[in-house]
């Protein structure tokens, strides 16, 4: 297990370094933020002063190594637009995104996995066909269109839910969150449903496929021959075998949900890091863009590492291969 962990840690470090280079180079190629920050009529002296102040007059490789050195010291730079440290800016928006992601993945897994298992256990039933139709809908319909449809139905026409914003905050344990108030829940439920539909469809299809395949295996036939009821076979044996791909996909989708909640946050005016990165791109706030994208890469790598460890716990063959 130690060899497996060391191998995954080295792979994670290599991925983070490679992606940081790609992100920094890509953001550098977008444009010059000085063109957005200063008045087009400003003279060359003011322009040169700002360029030197932000270190944009240095070669790209030197800017990159300066950025890496600052990151090692815990400094992600200062926003060019808001003039505050990027760490403070991102972490002021991060709780809102985490709330949205937490609720959305809970909805996706809490509905998608049981629905997929039911559809796989009763593959020819009318309910199974309805569940699979729901999964196709979640895959096919664009997120922004569903979001606007939800706003038109529940906010504009029915007036049941607010159309955007985060709502009132309350204290939950040591955290200040909108999940501690009824008004906060009324604000988060629509964007969370909107964000969860694609993940829910994926969970339904994956769990159904695993269920159908598992119910045809020899160990299920033997268990039935021994007189075990189907609910014990499913809960004690089948679920353990289909949990490996479910855990893998759930971890990957958790990372993608956290990284790509941009569309949902923009549609519902949710004050999270997704909306922050959209505003930063429009304003060419380079330190925020680079720091956000690098943080997303690190989160992806950490989530994948945790998923690999859980995978190895569920399947000993992975540990043996990693150790070898």
Q: What is the CATH number of the domain that holds 156?
A: 1.10.3720.10
pLDDT of residue 35: 63
6 is a domain residue: no
What length is written for the chain?
A: 324
CB 45: neighbour CB atoms within 10 A?
A: 8
Share of the chain above pLDDT 90, in %: 0
166 is a domain residue: yes
| 159, pLDDT greater than 80 | yes
Report how far Cα 240 is from the mean position of its chain's Cα atoms: 25
| 92, pLDDT greater than 70 | yes
271 is a domain residue: yes
Lowest mean pLDDT among 58-62, 144-148, 151-155, 161-165: 58-62
What φ, ψ does residue 85 adopt, rounded to 5°? -55, 140
Kindly compute the dihedral angle of the four CA atoms of residues 112, 115, 119, 121, in this order, to the nearest 10 degrees.
110
In angstroms, the CA 213 to CA 242 distance is 9
Which among 314, 283, 256 is positioned nearest to 35, based on CA atoms?
A: 283
- Give the contacts of 256 (CB within 8 A, at least 6 positions apart): none
**36 vs 206, which has greater pLDDT?**
206
The single residue listed with the structure tokens 């925020």 is 288
**238 vs 117, which has greater pLDDT?**
117
Query: For 216, which DSSP code?
Result: T
Which residue range forms the structural domain that includes residue 135?
Answer: 86-282
Pair 168, 184: CB distance under 8 Å = yes
Please tell me the total count of domains within the chain: 1
pLDDT of residue 317: 57
Share of the chain above pLDDT 70, in %: 86
In angstroms, the CA 45 to CA 33 distance is 16
In angstroms, the CA 49 to CA 46 distance is 5
189 is a domain residue: yes
In angstroms, the CA 13 to CA 258 distance is 21
168 is a domain residue: yes
167 is a domain residue: yes
253 is a domain residue: yes
Mean predicted lDDT score pLDDT of the chain:
78
pLDDT of residue 323: 46
For the record, the structure tokens of 143 come out as 């997120």
Which among 55, 50, 25, 22 is positioned nearest to 35, based on CA atoms?
A: 50
3-state secondary structure of 41: coil
pTM of the shown model: 0.75
| Residue 133: band (very low, low, confident or very high) from pLDDT cuts 50, 70, 90 | confident
pLDDT of residue 211: 82
């Amino acid at each position: 297990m130690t060899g497996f962990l060391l191998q995954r840690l080295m792979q994670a470090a290599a991925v983070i370094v490679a992606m940081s280079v790609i992100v920094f180079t890509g953001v550098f190629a977008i444009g010059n933020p000085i063109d957005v920050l200063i008045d087009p009529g400003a003279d060359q002296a003011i322009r040169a002063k700002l360029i030197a102040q932000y270190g944009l007059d240095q070669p790209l490789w030197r800017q990159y190594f300066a950025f890496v050195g600052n990151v090692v010291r815990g400094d992600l730079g200062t926003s060019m637009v808001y003039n505050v440290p990027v760490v403070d800016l991102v972490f002021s928006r991060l709780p809102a995104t985490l709330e949205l992601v937490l609720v959305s993945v809970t909805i996706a897994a809490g509905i998608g996995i049981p629905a997929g298992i039911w559809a796989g256990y009763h593959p020819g039933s009318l309910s199974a066909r309805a569940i699979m139709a729901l999964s196709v809908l979640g895959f096919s319909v664009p997120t922004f269109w569903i979001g606007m449809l939800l706003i038109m139905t529940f906010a504009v026409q029915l007036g049941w839910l607010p159309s955007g914003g985060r709502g009132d905050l309350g204290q939950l344990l040591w955290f200040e969150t909108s999940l501690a108030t009824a008004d906060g829940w009324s604000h988060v439920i629509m964007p969370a449903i909107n964000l969860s539909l694609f993940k829910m469809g994926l969970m339904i299809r994956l769990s159904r496929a695993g269920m159908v395949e598992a119910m045809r295996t020899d160990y299920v036939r033997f268990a039935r021959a021994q007189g075990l009821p189907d609910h014990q076979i499913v809960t004690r044996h089948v679920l353990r075998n289909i949990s490996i791909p479910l855990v893998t996909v759930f971890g990957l989708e958790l990372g993608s949900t956290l990284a790509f909640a941009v569309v949902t946050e923009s549609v519902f005016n949710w004050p999270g890091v997704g909306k922050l990165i959209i505003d930063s791109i429009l304003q060419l706030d380079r330190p925020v863009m680079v720091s956000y994208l690098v943080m997303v890469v690190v989160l992806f790598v950490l989530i994948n590492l945790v998923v690999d460890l859980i995978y190895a716990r569920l399947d000993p063959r992975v540990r043996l291969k990693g150790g070898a």
